[in-house]
């Protein structure tokens, strides 16, 4: 009998709940941040139309060798065999950032694609073209020919705080647009902490799966604070920490794309540095580890022109603290070329300030690029004299000098040359200028030995012409 009474009591409570639901107010749009935090539905409805799915297609020439898979001959004859076109497809996300059809995504999604399709949430579809693609920043700006497009507004990413609620919107695994929520779990993430050698990121615990790349990370006001780019995980799934490229850098990319630039131009510091750790801090007499110590300065460096010297510690750029070289590059990049930026630095323990001009890497001395012609030994080999602009293009050391391989060409690649190799000599002839290459190869033929430097290591490449 007691059981029956308990069942009747539960039924009465449930029925009372249904009756209360029928008499309650109809669902309404939240009117405050506190109410929005209880339901993300109105926010998603507002922001989702500006997040798009991107389908990219690239045709590559793949060489198929009859010795493929053979443990010995496979490596020996890797360049032997016929070439066939092969299609590579990639799937990702993007964000419309202006009503006239500018779209931002990741470089690794669209950077080398031959055919790009942008599909909106309402299933409209457009062809897109890449205006600017930058592998180092993993950002690309696309353009579709359309007007009155839904778009997301930028929020100043410097105002973002750890603990803020955020949403990640994208197209994971190709299943269609999805939304995941989380918080900002870290700021100023760069270098090894992100699993990437370069870059500066916002960290979030919002799940980011394959296909989310290029999607939006938004705040509870629907403003974009970053572009989702990667996740650091041990399992390969979404149970890790995600990283987003700050909106401030995206805004600079968009500005350059509108100005007609086809390559992202970032300011040149003309310096190398390293984070100040506890050991360095003690040696420098600092009260705590902070900043980036300058380990080398190019003679044309704008930091040197502003009065800084090797051993100074940069602690602040544009009013923001910096603790890694990536942070310095980021702060300079979002400011933009042609402007100036205020830097705070420690010189012999004293805090000083300097106004630094943000310039492009100088193309001086002239690069004097040369491409070997059809009758030369290594037809198609492109070389140039190293200067700051060439060093920046090829990620060479700040102190690099001499003649560098810009493109090895088909024959140079076959003998082992790579882009970025610094040529020191051919046979017994020292190489000091691009004009030396052709005559030196002819004199050394038919048995040729090239002395080169690759990532600080000396090597000799021998072949017969």
The reply to whether 110 and 184 lie within a common domain is: no
The secondary structure of the chain in percent helix, strand, coil, rounded to multiples of 5, reads 25, 35, 40
The reply to whether 202 and 230 lie within a common domain is: yes
The confidence score (pLDDT) of residue 4 equals 43
Q: Classify residue 216 by burial, with Cβ atoms within 10 Å: 0-12, 13-18, 19+.
A: buried
Number of structural domains (the chain) is 4
The reply to whether 253 and 300 lie within a common domain is: no
The reply to whether 299 and 347 lie within a common domain is: yes
Can you name the residues that pair with 245 across neighbouring β-strands?
A: 227
Assess whether pLDDT exceeds 90 at residue 29.
no
Q: What is the rounded distance in angstroms from the CA atom of residue 212 to the CA atom of residue 170?
A: 5
Mean pLDDT of 392-402: 93
CATH number at residue 188: 2.40.10.10
Q: 96: Cβ–Cβ under 8 A, 6 or more apart, which residues?
A: 50, 51, 52, 102, 103, 149, 150, 151, 152
Cα distances from 117 to residues 112, 176, 232, 446, in angstroms, run 14, 15, 28, 51
Q: List phi, psi (to 5°) of 16.
A: -60, -35
Assess whether pLDDT exceeds 70 at residue 81.
no
Per-residue pLDDT tens digits for 312-327: 999 999 999 999 998 9
Q: Within a domain: residue 135?
A: yes
The confidence score (pLDDT) of residue 24 equals 45
The residue out of 144, 171, 193 marking a domain boundary is: 144
Contact, 399 vs 428, CB < 8 A? no
Q: 311: Cβ–Cβ under 8 A, 6 or more apart, which residues?
A: 293, 294
Contact, 424 vs 402, CB < 8 A? yes
Q: Classify residue 112 by burial, with Cβ atoms within 10 Å: 0-12, 13-18, 19+.
A: middle
Contact, 424 vs 384, CB < 8 A? no
Mean pLDDT of 436-455: 94
Per-residue pLDDT tens digits for 321-348: 999 998 999 999 999 999 999 999 999 8
User: Ranked by mean pLDDT, which of 1-5, 13-17, 438-442 comes out on top?
Assistant: 438-442
Q: Within a domain: residue 15?
A: no
Q: Classify residue 75 by burial, with Cβ atoms within 10 Å: 0-12, 13-18, 19+.
A: exposed
Q: Within a domain: residue 10?
A: no
Of these residues, 90, 105, 190, 213, which one is catalytic?
213
- Look up the pTM and report it: 0.79
Assess whether pLDDT exceeds 90 at residue 238.
no
CATH number at residue 275: 2.30.42.10
Contact, 156 vs 135, CB < 8 A? no
The reply to whether 378 and 456 lie within a common domain is: yes
Q: Within a domain: residue 139?
A: yes
Assess whether pLDDT exceeds 90 at residue 365.
yes
Q: List phi, psi (to 5°) of 205.
A: -100, 5
Q: How would you classify residue 455: left for phi > 0, otherwise alpha for psi between -120 and 50, otherwise beta?
A: left
Helices (DSSP H) in 288-387: which residue ranges? 302-305, 325-335
The reply to whether 105 and 183 lie within a common domain is: no
The reply to whether 287 and 335 lie within a common domain is: yes
Cα distances from 415 to residues 319, 423, 434, 451, in angstroms, run 50, 14, 19, 13
Q: Within a domain: residue 151?
A: no
Of these residues, 90, 93, 108, 391, which one is catalytic?
108
Assess whether pLDDT exceeds 80 at residue 310.
yes
Structural domain span for residue 100: 49-60+70-144
Concerning whether 105 is annotated as a catalytic residue, the answer is no
The residue out of 85, 110, 144 marking a domain boundary is: 144
The residue out of 334, 357, 380 marking a domain boundary is: 357
Concerning whether 99 is annotated as a catalytic residue, the answer is no
Concerning whether 108 is annotated as a catalytic residue, the answer is yes
The confidence score (pLDDT) of residue 10 equals 36
The reply to whether 281 and 205 lie within a common domain is: no
Assess whether pLDDT exceeds 70 at residue 437.
yes
Q: What is the rounded distance in angstroms from the CA atom of residue 184 to the CA atom of residue 202?
A: 7
Give 116-160 as a 3 state SS string.
EEEECCCCCEEEEEEEEEECCCCEEEEEECCCCCCCCCECCHHHC
Q: Within a domain: residue 34?
A: no
Q: Within a domain: residue 169?
A: yes
Assess whether pLDDT exceeds 90 at residue 130.
yes
The reply to whether 302 and 248 lie within a common domain is: no
The reply to whether 275 and 182 lie within a common domain is: no
Cα distances from 98 to residues 51, 166, 168, 215, 453, in angstroms, run 12, 21, 19, 15, 46
User: Ranked by mean pLDDT, which of 100-114, 202-216, 223-237, 300-314 comes out on top?
Assistant: 300-314
Assess whether pLDDT exceeds 90 at residue 13.
no
The reply to whether 250 and 284 lie within a common domain is: no
The secondary structure element, H or E, covering residue 9 is helix 2-23
Contact, 343 vs 307, CB < 8 A? no
The reply to whether 319 and 391 lie within a common domain is: no
Of these residues, 93, 134, 138, 190, which one is catalytic?
138
The label of the residue with tokens 């630039």 reads 261
Cα 339 to chain centroid distance, Å, stands at: 23
Q: What is the rounded distance in angstroms from the CA atom of residue 265 to the CA atom of residue 272?
A: 19
Q: What is the rounded distance in angstroms from the CA atom of residue 47 to the CA atom of residue 68?
A: 49
Residue 106 carries which DSSP code? Answer: -
Residue 366 carries which DSSP code? Answer: -
Mean pLDDT of 435-447: 94
Q: What is the rounded distance in angstroms from the CA atom of residue 162 to the CA atom of residue 184?
A: 5
Q: What is the rounded distance in angstroms from the CA atom of residue 109 to the CA atom of residue 97?
A: 17
Contact, 167 vs 273, CB < 8 A? no
The secondary structure element, H or E, covering residue 256 is helix 247-258
Per-residue pLDDT tens digits for 204-218: 988 777 767 889 999
Residue 233: asked if its preceding bond is cis (omega within 30°), the reply is no
Helices (DSSP H) in 380-435: which residue ranges? 388-394, 409-415
């Amino acid at each position: 009998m007691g059981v029956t009474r308990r069942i009747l009591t539960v039924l009465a409570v449930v029925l009372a709940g249904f009756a209360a639901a029928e008499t309650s107010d109809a669902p309404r749009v939240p009117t405050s941040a506190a109410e929005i935090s209880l339901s993300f539905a109105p926010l998603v409805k507002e922001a989702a139309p500006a997040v798009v799915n991107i389908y990219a297609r690239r045709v590559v020439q793949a060489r198929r060798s009859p010795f493929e898979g053979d443990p010995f001959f496979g490596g020996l004859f890797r360049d032997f065999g016929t070439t066939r076109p092969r299609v590579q497809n990639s799937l990702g996300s993007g964000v419309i950032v202006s009503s006239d059809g500018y779209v931002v995504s990741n470089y690794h999604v669209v950077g080398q694609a031959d055919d790009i399709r942008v599909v909106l949430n309402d299933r409209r579809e457009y062809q897109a073209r890449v205006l600017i693609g930058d592998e180092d920043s993993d950002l690309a700006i696309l353009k579709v020919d359309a007007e009155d497009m839904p778009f997301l507004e930028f929020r100043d990413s410097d105002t973002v705080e750890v603990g803020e609620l955020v949403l990640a919107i994208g197209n994971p695994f190709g299943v269609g647009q999805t939304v995941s929520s989380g918080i900002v779990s870290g700021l100023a993430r760069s270098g090894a902490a992100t699993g990437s050698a370069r870059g500066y990121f916002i960290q979030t615990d919002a799940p980011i799966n394959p296909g989310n790349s290029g999607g939006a990370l938004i705040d509870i006001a629907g403003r974009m604070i970053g572009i989702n780019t990667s996740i650091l995980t041990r399992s390969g799934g979404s149970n890790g920490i995600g990283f987003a490229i700050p909106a401030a850098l995206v805004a600079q990319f968009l500005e350059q794309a509108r100005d007609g630039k086809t390559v992202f131009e970032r300011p040149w510091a003309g310096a190398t540095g390293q984070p100040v750790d506890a050991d360095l801090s003690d040696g420098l007499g600092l009260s705590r580890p902070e900043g980036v110590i300058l380990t080398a300065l190019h003679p044309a460096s704008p930091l040197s022109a502003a009065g800084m010297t090797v051993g100074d510690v940069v602690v602040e750029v544009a009013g923001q603290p910096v603790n890694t070289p990536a942070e310095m590059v980021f702060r300079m990049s979002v400011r933009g070329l042609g402007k100036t930026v205020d830097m705070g630095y420690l010189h012999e323990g004293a805090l000083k300030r300097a106004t630094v001009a943000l310039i492009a890497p100088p193309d001086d001395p002239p690069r004097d690029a040369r491409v070997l012609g059809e009758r030369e030994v290594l037809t198609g080999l492109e070389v140039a004299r190293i200067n700051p602009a060439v060093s920046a293009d090829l990620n060479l050391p700040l102190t690099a000098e001499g003649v560098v391989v810009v493109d090895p060409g088909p024959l140079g690649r076959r003998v082992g040359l790579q882009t970025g190799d610094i040529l020191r000599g051919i046979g017994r002839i020292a190489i000091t200028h691009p004009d030396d290459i052709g005559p030196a190869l002819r004199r050394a033929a038919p048995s040729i030995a090239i002395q080169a430097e690759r990532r600080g290591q000396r090597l000799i490449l021998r072949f017969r012409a």
